[in-house]
Structure 1
Amino acid sequence: MNIVNALLYIMLKINKKYIFWPRTDEEVEHIINGFTHYPNVLGAIDGSQIDIKVVPHTQHDSYVNRYLRHSINAMVISTAEKILTYVFIGFPGSAHDSRVFSNSTFVQNIATHGSQFYFPNEECHILGDSAFPLKMWMMTPYKRRPALNRIERQHNYHLSADRVVVEHIFARIKGRFRRVIFINTYSISKAIEITTAACVLHNFCYMNKDQWEDELYEDVNEQEFIAEDNDEETRRAQLKRNRIARELLNNV
């Protein structure tokens, strides 16, 4: 085993030590207090494309993204302090964020165990953009239809002000760990391991106050808007979002 593979092995072994969901009431409170614009936020979610070499012929099409490059998806949840609390890496690059999310272990655990697996109560949630579904545990922006009213605009501003932290995460990771800009390997599993190791190193650095603010790699991840479902859970989530929006406007 050469030194690069040895370091990669170590990073993967300590993965859960540096990337973990909040486990105590104190950790939950600390994360919520870090988000200052939107109430009861336990994280902000976003996805990024990680470019890779051409994959095996049988998997060629599924890994071609909208920019006609081969890639895998990397989806993360971040605190306001830029610490990753969840990563889901390796879904084919052709997939939309909403499809990646629906196949993630995060959603699977909620489907199996309920939202209490991650959230202490129904007041807590993560923040997503319009590529993600509105849930009781996932607040997203109001869609333009064709125009937003004052309450909706104010809501979207506060949500975006707190969620912007995750939009810069992969710009920082790719700026600091340049290997992640283009992973020069034919192995999907190796590309996943390298990306995961970069996420571990990112957390290690930020937990030790070694932050990265310079040379941000431009990370473009435009996503289409998705329609909101009309089921009972979504209607409950809409009522929750409407209540938060009114409270945000009253607090201005």
Structure 2
Amino acid sequence: MRVRSKDWWERVVLKEFEDEEWKDNFRMTRRSFNKLCGMMEGVLKPEVVTVRAPVPLEMRVAIVLYKLASCAQYRLVANQFGVHKTTVKKFVYIFCKGMVSSPVIHNFIKVPTTKEAIGIARRFEQKFNIPQIIGCIDGTHIPVLPPSDGYQEFANCEGWPSYVLQAVVDDMYRFWNINCKMPGWTYDDNVLRQSTLFNQAHLLPKEPREINGVPINHFLLGDPAYPLMDWLIKGYAHSPNITPEQESFNAYLSSARTTAETAFERLKSRWRVLLKRSDCHFTFTPHVVGACCALHNFCENEKESVNPIWTEEAAALALDLPQPGLVQHLGQCTWSEDQSGPDRLFECKLPPAPVILFRCLGIL
């Protein structure tokens, strides 16, 4: 057996790294890393009986996080940690499959309870003046290495192969529902109709709130590509006949929907394996995506901030492979710092959002 040096891990990382260096390499501080190791012990812990000394649990988790964060080849990760490249691949597969198939992922990605939904709606209303929102739904493309006989099926509108990741995001940029099983050519509305979310929408928390005498349930916000449902609303289609009030309604919805765009940006900035076509099999890519979304939520729950440099580097990488929804601008309307009343208004002086919303829906 070839002797490989583990000096970088054993001497540099464990003994010399500060929190900032932990975040640069593993996307989280050492405190959060130790907490994650405890949660993944049942998935990645070494065998009791082995022929040679097993790789410790902490090192296994570090190898996986380093791979997901850097999108480096298995060979490069192996050289960094002093293991064989097949060992790196094995740990990545065990980690991602274990997280998705075990109860661990349900600790991170789950539909909010009624109490949680009320809190999400309250915070959305405080930020965007639209009541009863419990999430924003959107999609982004994840590069994939397609099968040789199915390239066209995976090619998206930009011409490169991908999976469509559909996600519902709360006000704190956390995913509470994800779907990544449809190839890149699939339109957003078809992705939605094939998802568990669509089939189980009747189970979403409702908790109606009476506004001007009309009970309004909780709902999701979507872009114009999605169908209009009693639990999903979208903006008005742009046309010569659109009214100023309808344009204002669209502006408020667009501002709120940037929550999903920001969440995707943070996700791909943290876990760059989602930025480039990875070296894993296309049937395994959804497991990687699910694990990265769960890790994203874990980092958000632990208040692990995203370094702006990560976003800049991710945007630079994306130039080689343009990805819909990676880097979005927040639009021309911004929140006014001067609050003369109970409602925060846009600098473009739109009327209060609840008035627009319910006039457009025919309630006022």
Q: Normalising by structure 1, report the TM-score.
A: 0.81
RMSD, aligned CA: 2.4
Distance 2:136 2:96 in 1: 27
Runs of 4 or more off by more than 4 Å in structure 1?
none
The one-letter code matched in structure 1 to 2:256 is D
Alpha-carbon separation, structure 2, partners of 1:176 and 1:147: 43
Distance 1:170 1:91 in 2: 18
- Return 140-149 or 85-94, whichever deviates more: 140-149
Give the match for residue 102 of structure 1: 193
Equivalent in 127, 134, 159 of residue 68 of structure 1 = 159
State the identity as a percent.
22
Q: Which range moves more in the overlay, 213-222 or 200-209?
A: 213-222
Q: 1:117 to 1:79 in 2, by over 3 A?
A: closer
Structure 1 residue aligned with 2:112, among 14, 22, 29? Answer: 22
Q: Deviations over 1:135-157 (max 9, x none)?
A: 11111001112242121122112
Q: 2:244 aligns with which of 137, 150, 157?
A: 150
Distance across 1 between alignment mates of 2:247 and 2:358: 9
SS in 2 for 1:204: helix
192 and 175 in structure 1: CA distance in 2 versus 1, 3 angstrom threshold: same
Matches within 5 A, 1:30-69: 30-36=119-125, 37=128, 38-57=130-149, 59-69=150-160
Name the structure 2 match of 1:4: 92
Larger radius of gyration: 2
**1 CA distance for matches of 2:110 and 2:191?**
20
Q: Structure 2: how far apart are the matches of 1:75 and 1:185?
A: 22
Q: Is the 8 A contact 1:56 1:186 kept in 2?
A: no
CA positional deviation for 1:174: 1.1
Query: Per the alignment, in what secondary structure is the counterpart of residue 168 of structure 1?
Result: helix
Q: How many residues align?
A: 224
CA distance in 2 between partners of 1:136 and 1:151 (Å): 21
Report the CA distance between 1:242 and its aligned residue.
9.3
Q: Is the 8 A contact 2:268 2:274 kept in 1?
A: yes
Distance in 2 (CA, whole Å) between partners of 1:186 and 1:74 is 17
Instruction: Give the deviation of 1:11 after TM superposition.
Output: 2.7
- Whole-angstrom CA distance in 1 between matches of 2:254 and 2:293: 23
Q: State the match for 2:84 in structure 1.
A: none
Provide structure 2 residue ranges, at least 5 long, that are not aligned to the other structure: 1-86, 209-215, 316-322, 327-353
